[in-house]
């Protein structure tokens, strides 16, 4: 055996580092055990905070700033708290109904105040783009959509599908720019669909132009009679557990010469990642795909261009959401959260602080957003 092939052989037997798919059974098992311990520690900290432990934000951030870089750089195998994170799930999207309850159908007044609600930019629950000089959340979201228009090559007259359309922010903004574009939006959140139905009656909104069609339903069951010129999916694939099935479905909705733009949180570590805390309290079965996962699934759609968007964009967005969340407390604390507001507030503060810190790790070079331009394979 030469020196050049000793290292990969050694790596196979070393737990915690490198690609989990290449580990020997012993190293894999040891990594799983250690990942369980890391997850239990994070959960203990989270639940102590949720139950009232006073940690100033600065201390909290400093704690994570010291531990996260080591995990990302040297021990990525510990960032997958459950085995399911490492594999494709059976269903396209798992735990959809529970996800709506735990996350998306929360009191809308609270969510809308946190995310921002302006005439052109409706609540948008995905990162803003701050690298073109935006100094506020609203502008960062406009810049984000402008960039997606360019990357997807949207032209007037396109019929576009928004797969997981949130509150209709992206369709509304794009419809305002192109007088002959038509949009179809799909979303399972009843509360977000209610918001869009109101806008569809509001003459000030482009959703009322007759060029927007809304489908309230699950990604798993999505089916459309027509085929689309373009498909956009923004911040949704963290809820998709099976890329193979998802791309097969999207390909069946796409015209022969159509294009798809997937925008998602991605991690530049060997495996996918999740967090026990977010799985339990924020996004059931949520996962962050490895940055190469989308292009490696190319049987129905293939990636023709890809971009990595630095995580500091999401860090700034999350900081703005946290400030807005804190500032709106008085007006939202009497809403129905199914639990004491003080507890709810702590869960969400932990979430916003944790994610903000993770995106800022190594100045955003490990955890950010991936964008993938795809066509029929």
Ligand X SMILES: C[S@@+](CC[C@H](N)C(=O)[O-])C[C@H]1O[C@@H](n2cnc3c(N)ncnc32)[C@H](O)[C@@H]1O
Which residues make up the interface to ligand X (CB under 6 A)? 93, 96, 99, 104, 124-126, 164-166, 169-170, 186-189, 192, 218-219, 234-236, 239
Tell the smallest beta-carbon distance from residue 246 to ligand X (Å): 10
Cβ closest to ligand X, residue 49 vs residue 228: 228
Closer to ligand X by CB, 38 or 219: give it.
219
| Smallest distance from ligand X to CB 194, Å | 12
Q: How far is the CB of 188 from ligand X (least distance, A)?
A: 3
Residue 7 to residues 4, 14, 17, 20, 90, Cα–Cα distance (Å): 6, 10, 13, 16, 35
Min CB(191)–ligand X separation in Å: 9
173-to-157, 183, 342, 363 alpha-carbon distances in Å: 15, 11, 35, 30
Residue with smaller CB distance to ligand X, 96 or 303: 96
* Nearest Cα to Cα of residue 73 among 238, 357, 266, 270: 270
Beta carbon of residue 234, minimum distance to ligand X (angstroms, whole number): 4
Q: From the CB of 115, what's the least distance to ligand X, in Å? A: 8
Answer yes or no: are the C-beta atoms of 108 and 221 closer than 8 Å: no
In whole angstroms, how close is the CB of 242 to ligand X at the nearest point?
A: 12
Between 219 and 309, CB nearer to ligand X: 219
- The region, left, alpha or beta by phi > 0 then psi within -120 to 50, assigned to residue 260 is beta
H or E element in which residue 162 lies: strand 159-163
Query: Using CB atoms within 10 A of its CB, is residue 319 exposed (0-12), middle (13-18) or buried (19+)?
Result: middle
Minimum gap (Å) between residue 254 Cβ and ligand X: 18
Shorter beta-carbon distance to ligand X: residue 38 or 320: 320
When the beta carbons of 28 and 122 are compared against ligand X, the nearer one is 122
E strand or H helix at 67: helix 57-74
Residue whose CB is less far from ligand X, 169 or 243: 169
Based on CB atoms, which residue is closest to ligand X, 45 or 142? 142
Of the pair 181, 236, the CB lying nearest ligand X is at 236
Cα–Cα dist 191/16, whole Å: 41
Cα 88 to Cα 22, 92, 97, 253, 264: the distances in Å are 17, 9, 19, 22, 16
Q: How many helices (H) and strands (E) would you count in the chain?
A: 14, 8
* Shortest separation between residue 53's beta carbon and ligand X, angstroms: 29
273 beta partners: 288
Q: CB-hemisphere CA count at 13 Å for 299?
A: 6
Closest residue to ligand X: CB criterion: 166
Q: Which residues have CB under 8 Å from 56's CB, separation 6+?
A: none
Q: Are 275 and 355 in contact (CB under 8 A)?
A: no
């Amino acid at each position: 055996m030469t020196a050049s092939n000793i290292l990969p052989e050694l790596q196979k037997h070393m737990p915690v580092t490198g690609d989990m798919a290449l580990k020997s059974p012993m190293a894999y098992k040891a990594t799983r055990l250690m990942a369980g311990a890391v997850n239990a520690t994070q959960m203990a900290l989270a639940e102590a905070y949720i139950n009232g432990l006073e940690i100033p934000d600065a201390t909290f951030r400093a704690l994570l700033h010291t531990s996260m870089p080591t995990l990302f750089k040297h021990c990525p195998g510990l960032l997958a708290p459950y085995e399911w994170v490492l594999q494709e799930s059976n269903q396209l999207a798992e735990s959809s109904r529970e996800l709506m309850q735990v996350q998306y159908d929360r009191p809308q007044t609270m969510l809308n105040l946190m995310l921002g609600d302006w005439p052109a930019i409706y609540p948008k629950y995905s990162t803003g783009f701050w690298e073109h000089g935006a100094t506020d959340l609203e502008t960062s979201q406009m810049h984000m959509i402008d960039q997606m228009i360019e990357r997807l090559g949207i032209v007037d007259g396109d019929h576009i599908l928004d797969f997981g359309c949130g509150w209709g922010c992206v369709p509304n903004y794009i419809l305002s720019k192109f007088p002959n574009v038509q949009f179809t939006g799909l979303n399972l959140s009843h509360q977000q669909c209610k918001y869009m139905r109101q806008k569809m009656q509001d003459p000030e909104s482009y959703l009322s132009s007759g060029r927007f069609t809304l489908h309230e339903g699950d990604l798993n069951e999505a089916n459309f009679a027509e085929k689309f010129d373009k498909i956009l999916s923004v911040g949704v694939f963290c809820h998709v557990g099976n890329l193979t099935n998802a791309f097969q479905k999207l390909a069946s909705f796409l015209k022969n010469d159509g294009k798809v733009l997937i925008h998602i949180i991605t991690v530049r570590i060997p495996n996918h990642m999740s967090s026990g805390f977010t799985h339990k309290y924020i996004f059931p079965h949520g996962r962050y795909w490895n940055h190469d996962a989308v292009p490696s699934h190319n049987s129905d759609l293939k990636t023709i261009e890809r971009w990595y968007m630095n995580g500091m964009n999401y860090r700034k967005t999350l900081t703005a959401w946290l400030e807005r969340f804190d500032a709106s407390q008085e007006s939202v604390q009497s809403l129905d959260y199914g639990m004491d507001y003080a507890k709810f507030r702590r869960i969400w503060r932990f979430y916003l602080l944790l994610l903000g810190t993770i995106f800022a790790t190594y100045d955003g070079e490990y955890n950010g957003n991936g964008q993938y331009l795809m066509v029929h394979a």
